[in-house]
Amino acid sequence: MPLFSNLDLFLFSLIVGLLIYWFMSRKKVEPIPEFKKLDTPAPSTRETSFIEKMKKTGKNIIVFYGSQTGTAEEFANRLSKDAQRYGMKGMAADPEEYDMGELSRLSEIQNSLAIFCMATYGEGDPTDNAQDFYDWLQENDDEDLSGLNYTVFSLGNKTYEHYNAMGKYVDKRLEELGAKRIFDLGLGDDDGNLEEDFISWREQFWPAICEHFGVEALGDDSSIRQYELQEHTDINMNKVYTGEIGRLKSFEVQKPPFDSKNPFLAPVTVNRRLNKAGDRHLMHLELDITGSKIRYESGDHVAVFPTNDSMLVNKLGQILGVDLDVVISLNNLDDESNKKHPFPCPTSYRTALTHYLDITHPPRTNVLYELAQYASDPKDQENMRKMASSSPEGKALYQNWVLDASRNILAILEDMPSLKPPIDHLCELLPRLQARYYSIASSSKVHPNSIHICAVVVEYKTKTGRINKGVATNWLKNKLISDNGHKSTVPMYIRKSQFRLPFKSTNPVIMVGPGTGIAPFVGFIQERGWLKEQGKEVGETVMYFGCRHKNEDFIYQEELEEAEKNGVLTQLNVAFSRDQEQKVYVQHHLKKNKEHLWKLIHTDNAHIYICGDAKNMAKDVQLTFCEIAEELGGMTRTQATDYIKKLMTKGRYSQDVWS
């Protein structure tokens, strides 16, 4: 018999043939024209290069902003717009969107200048969008910025320990890296009049820049529009924004992860009044985060996106004589700008004024300046322009007529009948409505699926006799558990904080939080209780709380007294400021217990936490701790101050305060 049958030979030939074909085809390279696209730069390179964008659009001034609440961004936009009046071209830029390593290349552009509008956040920290830039400045010691012309305007608040720390750091660090400061650092104080500080700096800044670059102001003070109006008469309503912060329809189809651009709609499960009596309304809300994959720690903040009162929105529509339900887009006249619209578009005027624009804060002077042209009474025009100037008379008029009287845009339109601006220009000028932050009043160890908020409803009478209401607190107050059969929801996300319990549970903690400053400590106490239940050894937990009257606003009284009874709180000290003739505050109780406090701090490694009003309480409490260190530690006042500052540096003296 033959060794191989015909079938074997056929199969063998077939296998050899396939192997040869595979080998030959593998070696064969055919040109594919589509691959040529890889030679062009990837889109991300173009997007992160502000140098290429400036060259392409003929810009020579770039204004970077570090902004948490929108003010620094607003100032940056104003400065970039100003450039046009001085024969230059500017652009505002978010440092998070660009490669800041390109600063060294700015000298490639003639007469170029980088302006930095930098806000300071928290305890001297950079804002979220400037964090990467801050890290880059810290890490790049060998960077050569000798060709960079720069100036810095800093936004801060004198109430806080680290006043304007971020702006001061950027100014100093750029100089260290060889950059040339063209104009002095500007310091804006939000505890005083930030707008006035900015105007005074800006009015000196531009003449200095013109002199430096040898250019002359065009003398053109006319209004410069940044956006053009487009009305949509026939549009698919599924493509219209109805209040979403980022992605269209994100409120209908929720997708994690949730953040500032994509908030989670958390159902309200509890909304109760905390105080038993009195004029004020202190409230406790609970938000359900089940299924959201949101995680938080005690001491974190919850950010909520409020909406404006519909009554105010309707009044604005009436006074301007417009149909608020017209669907519009405001499109950037600069095609190359990253910011295509001032708020999500297309949308209706009603949605913009309800969800996206701040209509309750007194408008800044630039808004008055731009709107002045629409006043038919020459006297009104003159006053509005005067208020936007840096003249002493103008500053006094703005302070008295706008700020002291708490006039919002509606009040200004009502009190100045000759002023009739087009609604689209008004929408372009008004700042964005910002998220509001609250210290979380719960522990995720005890409440993993809910976040608790403690807040006081803001409502006051102005000099003009109007009742002004806080946007967020009144909106939260009206969040009923069920609204016509539907669950009330709050768009929210979590912002991480450094306000943390000690890593070692055996460390004692001293908590000082009058009024709603108690919020994070409710979470701390819950967590210390949970640790005890787990059998962990827990150090002393001391609470100093203050309120006006025991029978009115001793909030969380039951919870605090229960925690003391169970030994979770080893000491509860409450100051009722108005229950006796002499006012008693938390600092008085601190002084009374100075020996015990000094032992906890100096011997037992205690961590101190302060939460609440920054302007008075936090300063008074810090001074009290300095006095205790001075008296019981045998120190001079300077040594005692340094001692407390060292505790801050070590993370043993933490503050979560607001002004």
Catalytic annotation, residues:
439, 611, 656, 658
Q: Is 164 annotated as a binding residue?
A: yes
Q: Is 121 annotated as a binding residue?
A: yes
Q: Is 152 annotated as a binding residue?
A: no
Helix (H) / strand (E) element for 597: namely helix 594-598
Q: Are strands 113-121 and 125-126 parallel, antiparallel or unpaired?
A: antiparallel
Q: Is 437 annotated as a binding residue?
A: yes
Q: Is 72 annotated as a binding residue?
A: yes
Q: Is 49 annotated as a binding residue?
A: no
Q: Is 475 annotated as a binding residue?
A: no
Please give the structure tokens belonging to residue 652. 């043993």
What is the per-residue DSSP string for 486-553? EEPEEEEEEE--S----SSTTS-EEEE--GGGGHHHHHHHHHHHHHHHTT-----EEEEEEES-HHHH
Q: Is 189 annotated as a binding residue?
A: no
Q: Is 161 annotated as a binding residue?
A: yes
Q: Is 16 annotated as a binding residue?
A: no
C-alpha 637 chain-centroid distance: 36
Helix (H) / strand (E) element for 580: namely none
Q: Is 541 annotated as a binding residue?
A: no
Q: Is 163 annotated as a binding residue?
A: yes
Question: In a 3-state reduction of DSSP, which class is residue 600?
Answer: helix
Q: Is 179 annotated as a binding residue?
A: no
Q: Is 162 annotated as a binding residue?
A: yes
Q: Is 147 annotated as a binding residue?
A: no
What is the per-residue DSSP string for 18-68? HHHHHHHHHH-----GGGGGGGSPPHHHHHH-HHHHHHHHT--EEEEEE-S
Count of C-beta atoms within a 10 Å radius of residue 79: 22
Residue 536 near residue 566, CB atoms below 8 Å: no
Task: Give the integer Cα–Cα distance in Å for 543 and 574.
Answer: 8
Q: Taking Cα atoms as reference points, which of 56, 173, 167 lies closest to residue 120?
A: 167
Q: Is 160 annotated as a binding residue?
A: yes
Question: In a 3-state reduction of DSSP, which class is residue 141?
Answer: coil
Q: Is 606 annotated as a binding residue?
A: no
C-alpha 152 chain-centroid distance: 20
Question: In a 3-state reduction of DSSP, which class is residue 393?
Answer: helix
Q: What angle do CA 602, 606, 611 make, to 5 degrees?
A: 120
Task: Give the integer Cα–Cα distance in Å for 513 and 518.
Answer: 5
Task: Give the integer Cα–Cα distance in Å for 489 and 492.
Answer: 9
Q: Is 221 annotated as a binding residue?
A: no
Does 392 sit behind a cis peptide bond, omega within 30 degrees of 0 on the bond before it? no
Q: Is 178 annotated as a binding residue?
A: no
Q: Is 398 annotated as a binding residue?
A: no
Task: Give the integer Cα–Cα distance in Å for 622 and 640.
Answer: 11
Q: Is 134 annotated as a binding residue?
A: no
Please give the structure tokens belonging to residue 247. 């992605």
Q: Which amino acid is at 481?
A: I
Q: Is 436 annotated as a binding residue?
A: yes
Q: Is 242 annotated as a binding residue?
A: no
Q: Is 71 annotated as a binding residue?
A: yes
Q: Is 454 annotated as a binding residue?
A: yes
What is the per-residue DSSP string for 424-492? HHHHHHSPBPPPEEEEB-S-TTT-TTEEEEEEE--EEE-TTSPEEE-HHHHHHHT--SEETTEEPEEEE
Q: Is 470 annotated as a binding residue?
A: yes
Q: Is 354 annotated as a binding residue?
A: no
Q: Is 284 annotated as a binding residue?
A: no
Q: Is 57 annotated as a binding residue?
A: no
C-alpha 654 chain-centroid distance: 20
Helix (H) / strand (E) element for 15: namely helix 6-27
Q: Is 68 annotated as a binding residue?
A: yes
Q: Is 156 annotated as a binding residue?
A: yes
Task: Give the integer Cα–Cα distance in Å for 58 and 65.
Answer: 20
Length of the chain: 659
Residue 136 near residue 168, CB atoms below 8 Å: no
Residue list for the binding site for FMN:
67-72, 119-122, 155-164, 190
Residue list for the binding site for NADP(+):
280, 516, 577-578, 583-587, 620
Residue list for the binding site for FAD:
436-439, 454-456, 460, 470-473, 658
Residue list for the binding site:
67-72, 119-122, 155-164, 190, 280, 436-439, 454-456, 460, 470-473, 516, 577-578, 583-587, 620, 658
